Structure 1
């Protein structure tokens, strides 16, 4: 909880206009945001460009953030929107909505204990964007399910089922690539 409190205080310090606070906020959060962006777009150079867009949006939006304790999901929502805008422009087609069945039970998957960051990153490129994103947020960014649901703008149950499906798909990819899963 100390880390959460530190983040809240850092956000409030930024909102109050304290000079040193924003560079510190960027130092703390740039790495996680950049890794999320790189995981979503695949290119380190593009992740650099998109990260700059994210930080510009954070600077503009931070004064209006009413609940500093919700900074993390707010930040990743901005990052997600930045990726979506980029993809929309890159493919010049409107984003299509995906209708999902929420019937998959998402009980504890033994794979979740075994997966490590390297294995997840190795298999990410083979996953569709929706499944890739939920794995990045949950496993690589360590966001709790509730925060993932907020970022993805989905019910927690849908996030659980998507996470379960993503783990299954990742397991199959890793097996195909002769990784131990």
Structure 2
């Protein structure tokens, strides 16, 4: 038995009947009416472009709902990436704003303990935390992946923190900017 391809008018008719319900569903998921309308329009466009390949009328609505659900998930992923990029930018701007006077006031214990770290760890802390280099640049310089760099940086910071906690009890209780060790 030959199956015929669904034509655009059938798709438009089926989607027009449930369009408001679909928009309400998307608004419930994203909590933004304007964003919901954008997602619906993008989903309709994708559906209309792919409709000639759909062969079963019974699968039309579930197929379209999958398109919509993927579009919602993509929106959340994009939003999360934008938030992470903003957070990294804010952290980098904060680090870069450290004046030379503030750098000199950093706990003497920190300055004395930094050379005692493994050379690779010391290099990471100096490059990223003190000199404000972007992690991606440092990873490229070292020939490692960004994920590997983040693991190493975490270990370096953890090692430095443990040494500071063991050696610098006064500053730990008060302030690293008011070192009295």
Provide TM-score, normalisation by structure 2: 0.39
**Relative contact order, CA 8 A, sep 6+: which one is greater?**
1
Between structures 1 and 2, the one with greater helix share: 2
